[in-house]
Amino acid sequence: MVSTDAIRTAVGVLGNIISLFLFLSPLPTFVQIWKKKSVENYSPAPYLATLINCLVWTLYGLPMVHPHSFLVVTINGSGTAIELVYIILFFIYSDRKKRLRVLLGLLLELIFICVLTTLVLTIAHSHKERSLIVGIICILFNVMMYASPLVVMKLVITTKSVEYMPFFLSLGCFANGLAWSTYALIEFDPFIIVPNGVGTMFSLAQLILYATFYKSTKRQIAERKGKAGQVDLSELVVDGEDAKKVGSAS
């Protein structure tokens, strides 16, 4: 018979794999940035937000804070390294104004995590106290990160179009939230289940919106292409008439 620990480890490994794919999903964007040698109008905010989220979760999973959370450390440690690479590339290919903003944001996050780590390890003297302090902060950062697609969801409802809400990203976030919620339920951990439960619900809502507005999105895109084709055709007709006039004048 398979033990509870083995099932939890298997679910945690699955959560690590899904999370890793999510962390790597912006890679095509950064390939384009590297090729163009410019960040153009991209914002560093999502990468800085993900970095601080990974940092606090890595702290939470450390043995001196919350023992037996090795899989939490592995994925968030990997996420920290990946986000740092993104931020370094963003810094290299930004203008002076954006570089200062990135540097300031990164500096504030590093100061925050250093102060938090020092306070938790010196003031709190038990695993329970440390887990409580860091866990509450993790929930706040995670819920804020998961709530960020609300703006896109509002846009979808307003426009009745899912054109700017990537399906596979929504599906990946849903699978990720579900995996980590299951992981936290097997050996109950409220600090993991609360943010990931919220994230699962937000992602499910996005998938429902996608199913609801998928047909109307295809219709809108087709209409837009049709109008563009009509404009091109009318321009050709006008050009042809102008050419005839020129020919008859000569």
Q: Is residue 136 part of a domain?
A: yes
Q: Is residue 183 part of a domain?
A: yes
Question: What is the pLDDT at residue 164?
Answer: 66
State the average pLDDT over residues 140-151: 74
pLDDT at 225 over 70: yes
| Distance from C-alpha of 57 to C-alpha of 51, rounded to nearest angstrom | 10
Q: Is residue 245 part of a domain?
A: no
pLDDT at 237 over 70: no
Q: Is residue 231 part of a domain?
A: no
Q: Is residue 144 part of a domain?
A: yes
Confidence class for position 110, pLDDT limits 50, 70, 90:
very high
Overall domain count for the chain? 1
Structural domain span for residue 204: 4-224
State the average pLDDT over residues 25-41: 83
- Cα 124 vs. chain centroid, distance in angstroms? 32
This prediction has a pTM of 0.75
9 contacts 74 by C-beta, under 8 angstroms: no
State the average pLDDT over residues 117-136: 91
Q: Is residue 243 part of a domain?
A: no
- Flag the least confident range among 32-46, 73-87, 96-110, 216-230: 216-230
Terminal C-alpha separation, the chain: 94
Q: Is residue 232 part of a domain?
A: no
Q: Is residue 211 part of a domain?
A: yes
Q: What is the pLDDT of residues 55-74, one digit of tens each?
A: 999 999 999 999 888 889 99
Burial of 75 (0-12, 13-18, 19+ CB in 10 A): buried
